[in-house]
């Protein structure tokens, strides 16, 4: 049966965009001296949203200098005072939450439901939680003598622009570092609104510098005179960065790609599991490093789960990201859409059976219908490579041991899901999975108090919780 | 007639066995022929370490502590009475006591803002490559190997290049210490030959570079980047928790609570 829904669009009035956003260096918004000004577009409509200044290498160097100049003063601030600035930022994010959610959705294409209920509240929560760590660091570090690293360079991806900025900045500032943050090429706007918030919060000049730019700005930042680099993005770029820092002694943490297994056992509550599968792979159009993109179904229930999953997929609402009822929004960029198309074509070529939801996609913008692959062989590209799109590949298994073996058969090790009503089995399987996060009977849950990060080629270091503080300090030795 | 001493043929400690280098090569060091480990020896050692990893990781922390303490006992009885041996024994005792404290110090329950039991706990990272310092030859090796083993990892260590004899003897101590075969592997040889096969090996998860050699650092880091290996560079003064941290992975598990 086809259901029609009345549109329920969020108003854009609550988020007036400026015509142009400049670089935020040394506490001021400044024009690029050797960078350029580019347009940022709404991936759902291809409409130009604003002009954004992109940093050139000289601009990046200026930002690092500003952070360097501010470092000693910020580190010397009493810890409670440092924390108070972070509390202010958390509060201002909450005050401007509606505006931030709308802009996040406009610039990135994700459903407003997600930016409103997940991205923005979690960003505020990270600042709030880490604010309280500022004066409790000696407890986090089990009594070890510690000092800030100094200036940190942080490069964040386009899938969670505001949230990733919060993940990176909050622990860096709490531990007494100053920062240069480079948001992603296609989604710079909310990080630049965060720069406005940081200005409004009255942080000392240069403590946080935010410079939009493309990959070359990121490359310039990680190769600059910073004391620590934190990167979230693809494994390929992460390896480049690790190589670029070889022998320099600079700190490095990497949050890289994933190809996470979502394992459903026959004794799981199947309807609940189906919701978890949907959440696992269609949250943020699958633009999630920990997306449950490899669905492993126990053979005895595989057909039933696929039937229920497909029925659920057909009811997903794909379209206007600003509509409050939209489940799946726009693909972030033309480039990303091309990558998804390429991998999906490879899946078909290699013999997997493709099923895509027959939804009407808007004519403008970048869209991809929720897609399921059956008859997938473990060596197929779609089962091995990160697609970063609304595409799930299904394979089956017979025993828990086989499920674990298949789940672990990956160069990645970021996350996994386990669905079973047997508690002992859930914890046993979780303990055997080589992944940094294991969700049991749930998926894609995040919290500032809970460590997040990968095993193997999904990167090293953790974000969240006390573990997220350690990479930002040097221990006396 | 004076008695002729039995000269010892020094061997690699690999997969719980004492073997000559597969290459058949030796280097004369201090009047003794020391096996010159090869690329193939490294591969064999990593294979043995990988095979031993699940069993060692699965042992209870209490059991791993007992085994490390037994290592300390065995080393004490072989001690030459020097400060170096004494310190090495004490370090083993120290790390024997770490095995069941790691989770309490590094992990815990995460007070998430939703009805879930969420907790983070450390797990071994897997196979650790140790590049031991040239000196002190015994203490320098124990200082890097003990934290890796305490955290539940298996180890392939390249021992002191300039004085490999006493470090190779540690294999005999380990062999009677209930450390399962393959958990600790000791290889002697030339760093320029062993660095690439060991640090570039896809099945090595972390590297402890204790050589204090800047010229080695860049090469090690570049090899590590191929598979995103964790690299740590402890100094003799690095505290034990800072040594342990790069050798574990924190796993966060979430489970719903209530309906």
Encoded tokens for A9: 């669009």
Q: B141: Cβ–Cβ under 8 A, 6 or more apart, which residues?
A: B130, B132, B157, B159, B160, B167, B170, B186
Interchain pair A442, B252: CB under 8 A: no
Looking at A109-204, list the stretches that DSSP marks H as alpha helix, in order from N- to C-terminal side. Answer: 112-114, 120-133, 137-140, 161-174, 189-200
- Structure letter (DSSP) for residue B162: S
- Chain A residues with CB inside 8 Å of B237's CB? 477
pLDDT digits 0-9 by tens, A104-124: 999 999 999 999 999 999 999
B5 falls within a domain: no
- Chain B residues with CB inside 8 Å of A124's CB? none
Q: Is the Cβ–Cβ distance between A327 and A316 less than 8 Å?
A: yes
**Is the Cβ of B253 closer than 8 Å to some Cβ of chain A?**
yes
Interchain pair A450, B224: CB under 8 A: no
* Distance in angstroms (rounded) separating the CA atoms of residues B57 and A453: 20
* Distance in angstroms (rounded) separating the CA atoms of residues A455 and A76: 35
**Is the Cβ of A243 closer than 8 Å to some Cβ of chain B?**
yes
Q: Which residue among B110, B219, B237 sits closest to A477, beta carbon to beta carbon?
A: B237
Q: Is the Cβ–Cβ distance between A178 and A77 less than 8 Å?
A: no
Q: A23, exposed or middle or buried, with CB in 10 Å at 0-12, 13-18, 19+?
A: buried
Listed as ranges, residues in chain A with pLDDT below 70 are 1-3, 477
**Is the Cβ of A426 closer than 8 Å to some Cβ of chain B?**
yes
Interchain pair B252, A450: CB under 8 A: yes
- Structure letter (DSSP) for residue A414: S
CATH code where residue B111 lies = 3.40.605.10
DSSP lists the bridge partners of residue B155 as B128, B184
Total domains in chain B come to: 1
Q: Is the Cβ–Cβ distance between A416 and A260 less than 8 Å?
A: yes
SS3 A173: helix
B204 falls within a domain: yes
Encoded tokens for B156: 């392939």
**Is the Cβ of A142 closer than 8 Å to some Cβ of chain B?**
yes
**Is the Cβ of A245 closer than 8 Å to some Cβ of chain B?**
yes
Interchain pair A436, B224: CB under 8 A: no
* Distance in angstroms (rounded) separating the CA atoms of residues A268 and A440: 11
Chain B CA closest to residue A240: B225
Write down the pLDDT at residue B259: 62
Give B236-242's long-range contacts (Cβ < 8 A, gap of 24+).
B236/B140, B236/B143, B237/A477, B238/A475, B238/A477, B239/A144, B239/A475, B239/A477, B240/B94, B240/B95, B240/B98, B240/B147, B241/A142, B241/A144, B241/B105, B241/B106, B242/A144, B242/A475, B242/A477
- Chain B residues with CB inside 8 Å of A253's CB? none
**Is the Cβ of B211 closer than 8 Å to some Cβ of chain A?**
no
B134 falls within a domain: yes
- Chain B residues with CB inside 8 Å of A450's CB? 110, 112, 118, 120, 252, 254
Q: A277: Cβ–Cβ under 8 A, 6 or more apart, which residues?
A: A262, A264, A292, A295, A305, A309, A392, A443
**Number of C-beta neighbours around residue B216 at 10 A:** 18
Q: Can A359 be counted among the known catalytic residues?
A: no
Q: Which residue among B218, B242, B255 sits closest to A247, beta carbon to beta carbon?
A: B218
**Is the Cβ of B225 closer than 8 Å to some Cβ of chain A?**
yes
B4 falls within a domain: no
Interchain pair B239, A235: CB under 8 A: no
Interchain pair B249, A455: CB under 8 A: yes
Q: Which residue among A239, A437, A452 sits closest to B225, beta carbon to beta carbon?
A: A239
Residue whose tokens read 């010159």: B36
* Distance in angstroms (rounded) separating the CA atoms of residues B132 and B158: 6
Residue A208, φ and ψ in degrees, nearest 5: -125, 130
* Distance in angstroms (rounded) separating the CA atoms of residues A190 and A103: 6
* Distance in angstroms (rounded) separating the CA atoms of residues B181 and B176: 10
Catalytic residue among A279, A289, A457, A463: A289
Catalytic residue among A104, A114, A255, A385: A255
Closest to B45 in 3D by CA, of B201, B243, B163: B201
Q: Is the Cβ–Cβ distance between A182 and A156 less than 8 Å?
A: yes
Q: What is the pTM of this model?
A: 0.97
For B57-76, letters b (16+ CB in 10 Å) and e give bebebeebbbbbbbbbbbbb
CA distance to partner chain B, nearest, from residue A39 (Å): 34
- Domain span at residue B35 reads 12-256
Q: Is the Cβ–Cβ distance between A49 and A189 less than 8 Å?
A: yes
Q: Chain A to chain B, count of Cβ pairs less than 8 Å apart?
A: 127
* Distance in angstroms (rounded) separating the CA atoms of residues B114 and B117: 9
Listed as ranges, residues in chain B with pLDDT below 50 are none
Interchain pair B249, A238: CB under 8 A: no
* Distance in angstroms (rounded) separating the CA atoms of residues A374 and A359: 19
Q: Is the Cβ–Cβ distance between A174 and A466 less than 8 Å?
A: no
Closest to A257 in 3D by CA, of A218, A280, A290: A290
* Distance in angstroms (rounded) separating the CA atoms of residues A206 and A209: 6
Q: Is the Cβ–Cβ distance between A136 and A81 less than 8 Å?
A: no
Torsion of CA A136, A139, A144, A150, to 10 degrees: -30
Interchain pair B217, A243: CB under 8 A: no
B135 falls within a domain: yes
**Is the Cβ of B106 closer than 8 Å to some Cβ of chain A?**
yes
**Is the Cβ of B212 closer than 8 Å to some Cβ of chain A?**
no
Distance from the first to the final alpha carbon of chain B: 87
Encoded tokens for B23: 């290459």
Interchain pair A457, B227: CB under 8 A: yes
* Distance in angstroms (rounded) separating the CA atoms of residues B169 and B145: 15
Interchain pair B230, A235: CB under 8 A: no
Q: Can A289 be counted among the known catalytic residues?
A: yes
Q: Which residue among B120, B205, B245 sits closest to A465, beta carbon to beta carbon?
A: B120
Write down the pLDDT at residue A476: 82
B225 falls within a domain: yes
**Is the Cβ of A465 closer than 8 Å to some Cβ of chain B?**
yes
- Residues in chain B, overall count: 259
CA distance to partner chain B, nearest, from residue A332 (Å): 27
ipTM value > 0.90: yes
B240 falls within a domain: yes
Closest to A229 in 3D by CA, of A384, A460, A477: A460
Interchain pair A437, B118: CB under 8 A: no
Interchain pair A447, B112: CB under 8 A: yes
**Is the Cβ of B104 closer than 8 Å to some Cβ of chain A?**
no
* Distance in angstroms (rounded) separating the CA atoms of residues A162 and A104: 8
* Distance in angstroms (rounded) separating the CA atoms of residues A242 and A257: 15
pLDDT digits 0-9 by tens, A36-66: 999 999 999 999 999 999 999 999 999 999 9
* Distance in angstroms (rounded) separating the CA atoms of residues A181 and A206: 12
Interchain pair B228, A457: CB under 8 A: yes
Q: A240: Cβ–Cβ under 8 A, 6 or more apart, which residues?
A: B225
- Chain B residues with CB inside 8 Å of A447's CB? 110, 112-114, 118
B208 falls within a domain: yes
Q: B51, exposed or middle or buried, with CB in 10 Å at 0-12, 13-18, 19+?
A: middle
Where residue B66 falls (left for φ over 0; alpha for ψ -120 to 50; beta otherwise) is alpha
- Chain B residues with CB inside 8 Å of A279's CB? none
Q: How many CA atoms lie within 13 A of A122 on its CB side?
A: 24
């Amino acid at each position: 049966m086809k259901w029609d829904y009345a549109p329920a669009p969020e108003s854009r009035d609550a988020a007036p965009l400026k015509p142009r956003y400049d670089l935020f260096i040394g506490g001021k918004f400044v024009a690029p001296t050797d960078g350029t000004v580019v347009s940022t577009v709404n991936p759902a409509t291809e409409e130009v949203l604003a002009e954004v200044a992109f940093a050139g290498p000289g601009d990046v160097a200026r930002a690092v200098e500003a952070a360097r100049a501010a470092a000693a003063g910020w580190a010397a601030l009493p810890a409670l005072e440092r924390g108070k600035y972070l509390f202010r930022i958390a509060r201002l994010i909450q005050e401007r939450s509606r505006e931030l959610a709308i802009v996040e959705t406009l610039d990135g294409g994700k459903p407003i439901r997600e930016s409103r209920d997940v991205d923005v509240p979690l960003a505020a929560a990270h600042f709030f939680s880490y604010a309280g760590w500022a004066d409790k660091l000696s407890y986090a570090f089990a009594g070890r003598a510690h000092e800030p690293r100094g200036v940190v360079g942080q490069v964040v991806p386009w899938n969670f622009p505001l949230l990733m900025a919060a993940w990176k900045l909050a622990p860096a500032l709490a531990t007494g570092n100053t920062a240069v943050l480079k948001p992603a090429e296609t989604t710079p706007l909310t990080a630049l609104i965060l720069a406005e918030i940081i200005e409004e919060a009255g942080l000392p000049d240069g403590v946080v510098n935010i410079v939009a730019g493309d990959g070359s700005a990121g490359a310039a930042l990680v190769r600059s005179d910073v004391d620590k680099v934190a990167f979230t993005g693809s494994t390929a770029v992460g390896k480049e960065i690790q190589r670029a820092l070889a022998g320099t002694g600079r700190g490095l943490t990497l949050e890289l790609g994933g190809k996470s297994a979502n394992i459903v056992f026959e004794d799981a509550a199947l309807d609940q599991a189906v919701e978890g599968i949907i959440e696992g792979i269609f949250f943020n159009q699958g633009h999630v490093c920990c997306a449950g993109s490899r669905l492993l179904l126990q053979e005895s229930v595989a057909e039933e789960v696929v039937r229920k999953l497909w029925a659920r997929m057909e009811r997903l609402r794909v379209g206007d990201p600003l509509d409050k009822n939209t489940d799946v929004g726009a693909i972030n960029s033309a480039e990303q859409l091309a990558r998804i198309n390429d991998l999906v074509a490879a899946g078909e070529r290699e013999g997997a059976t493709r099923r895509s939801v027959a939804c009407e996609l808007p004519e403008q913008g970048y869209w991809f219908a929720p897609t399921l692959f059956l008859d997938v062989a473990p060596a197929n590209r779609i089962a091995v490579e990160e697609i970063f799109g609304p595409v799930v590949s299904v394979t089956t298994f017979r025993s828990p041991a086989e499920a674990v073996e298949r789940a672990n058969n990956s160069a990645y090790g970021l996350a996994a899901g386990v669905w079973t009503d047997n508690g002992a089995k859930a914890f046993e399987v979780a303990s055997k999975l080589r992944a940094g996060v294991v969700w049991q009977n749930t998926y894609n849950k995040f919290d500032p108090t809970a460590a997040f990060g990968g095993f193997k080629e999904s990167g090293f270091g953790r974000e969240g919780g006390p573990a997220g503080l350690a990479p930002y300090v040097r221990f006396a030795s | 007639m004076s008695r002729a001493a039995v000269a010892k043929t020094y061997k690699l400690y690999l997969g719980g066995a004492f073997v000559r280098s597969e290459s058949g090569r030796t280097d004369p060091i201090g009047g003794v022929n020391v096996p010159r480990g090869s690329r193939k020896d490294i591969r064999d050692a990593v294979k043995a370490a990988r095979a031993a990893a699940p069993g060692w990781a699965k042992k209870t922390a209490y059991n791993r502590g007992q085994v490390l303490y037994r290592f300390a006992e065995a080393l004490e009885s072989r001690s030459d009475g020097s400060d170096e041996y004494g310190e090495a024994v004490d370090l083993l005792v120290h790390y024997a006591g770490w095995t069941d404290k790691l989770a309490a110090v590094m992990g815990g329950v995460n007070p998430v803002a939703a009805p879930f039991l969420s907790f983070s706990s450390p797990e071994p990272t897997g196979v650790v490559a140790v590049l031991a310092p040239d000196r002190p030859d015994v203490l320098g090796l124990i200082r890097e190997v003990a934290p890796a083993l305490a955290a539940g990892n298996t180890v392939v260590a390249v021992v002191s290049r300039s004085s490999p004899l006493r470090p190779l003897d540690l294999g005999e101590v380990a062999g009677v210490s209930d450390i399962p075969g393959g958990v600790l592997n000791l290889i002697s040889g030339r760093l320029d030959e062993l660095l690439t096969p060991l640090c570039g090996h896809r099945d090595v998860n972390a590297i402890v570079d204790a050589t204090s050699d800047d010229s080695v650092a860049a090469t090690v880091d570049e090899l590590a980047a191929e598979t995103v290996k964790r690299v740590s560079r402890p100094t003799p003064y690095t505290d034990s928790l800072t040594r342990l941290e790069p050798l574990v992975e924190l796993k966060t598990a979430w489970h719903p609570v209530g309906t």
